[in-house]
Structure 1
Amino acid sequence: MSSDRSRHQDFDITLWQGRTDPEPDSERWHQKIQPLTENASPGCALIGFACDAGVARNQGRVGAAEGPAALRRALAPLAWHRQAPAYDAGDVCCEGDAMEEAQQALADRLASLLAARHFPVVLGGGHEVAYASWSGLARHLVARGESAPRIGIINLDAHFDLRNPSHVRSSGTPFAQIANDCAQRDWPFRYACLGVSRAANTRALFHRANELGVMVREDREITVQRLADIEQDLADFIRDCDHLYLTIDLDVLPAAEAPGVSAPAARGVSLALIEPLIEGIRDSGKLRLADLAELNPGRDIDGRTARAAARLVHLLTLND
Structure 2
Amino acid sequence: MSVWAGREDPEHDSLRWHQVITPVKSDSAPGAALLGFASDAGVARNQGRVGAAEGPRALRKALAPLAWHRSAPVFDAGDVSCHGNDDLEAAQQRLAERVAALLAHGHLPLVLGGGHEVAFGSWSGLARHFEAQGGAQGEARPRVGIVNLDAHFDLRDPSHVRSSGTPFAQIAAECHARAWPFRYACLGVSRASNTRALFTRARELNVLVREDHEIDTLRLDAIMRDLQQFMARCDHLYLSIDLDVLPAAEAPGVSAPAAYGVPLALIEPLIEAVRDSGKLRLIDIAELNPSFDIDGRTAKAAARLIHRLTLDS
The secondary structure found in structure 1 opposite 2:2 is: helix
Gaps of 5+ in 1: 1-12
Question: 1:139 Cα shift?
Answer: 0.7
Q: Which residue of 1 aligns with 2:125?
A: 136
Q: Which residue of 2 aligns with 1:59?
A: 47
2:94 corresponds to 1:101? no
TM-score, structure 1 as length reference: 0.96
Mapped to 1, the partners of 2:101 and 2:170 lie a distance apart of: 22
Q: Which residue of 2 aligns with 1:151?
A: 144
Mapped to 2, the partners of 1:96 and 1:134 lie a distance apart of: 22
Q: Which residue of 1 aligns with 2:286?
A: 293
8 Å CA contact 1:46, 1:122 repeated in 2: yes
Gaps of 5+ in 2: none
2:197 corresponds to 1:235? no
Mapped to 2, the partners of 1:200 and 1:103 lie a distance apart of: 26
8 Å CA contact 1:65, 1:124 repeated in 2: yes
2:270 corresponds to 1:282? no
RMSD of Structure 2 on Structure 1 (CA) = 0.6
Question: 1:14 Cα shift?
Answer: 1.7
Mapped to 1, the partners of 2:200 and 2:231 lie a distance apart of: 23
Q: Which residue of 2 aligns with 1:111?
A: 100
TM-score, structure 2 as length reference: 0.98
Aligned match of 1:122 in 111, 117, 124?
111
1:268-290 CA distance string (max 9 Å, x none):
00000000000000000000010
Q: Which residue of 2 aligns with 1:29?
A: 17
Mapped to 1, the partners of 2:73 and 2:50 lie a distance apart of: 33
The secondary structure found in structure 2 opposite 1:14 is: coil
1:61-99 CA distance string (max 9 Å, x none):
000000000000000000001101110000000011110
2:218 corresponds to 1:225? yes
8 Å CA contact 1:283, 1:319 repeated in 2: no
Mapped to 1, the partners of 2:182 and 2:77 lie a distance apart of: 29
Question: 1:220 Cα shift?
Answer: 0.3
Q: Which residue of 2 aligns with 1:42?
A: 30
2:78 corresponds to 1:85? no
8 Å CA contact 1:28, 1:80 repeated in 2: yes
Mapped to 1, the partners of 2:15 and 2:289 lie a distance apart of: 28
1:99 counterpart letter in structure 2: L
Mapped to 2, the partners of 1:200 and 1:317 lie a distance apart of: 31
Question: 1:142 Cα shift?
Answer: 1.1
Mapped to 1, the partners of 2:20 and 2:213 lie a distance apart of: 39
Give the ranges of 4+ consecutive aligned residues of structure 1 lying more than 2 Å apart after TM superposition.
Answer: none
Aligned match of 1:185 in 174, 178, 182?
178
Aligned residues: 308
Mapped to 1, the partners of 2:218 and 2:279 lie a distance apart of: 27
Identity of aligned residues (%): 73
2:164 corresponds to 1:175? no
Mapped to 1, the partners of 2:93 and 2:170 lie a distance apart of: 14
Question: 1:246 Cα shift?
Answer: 0.2
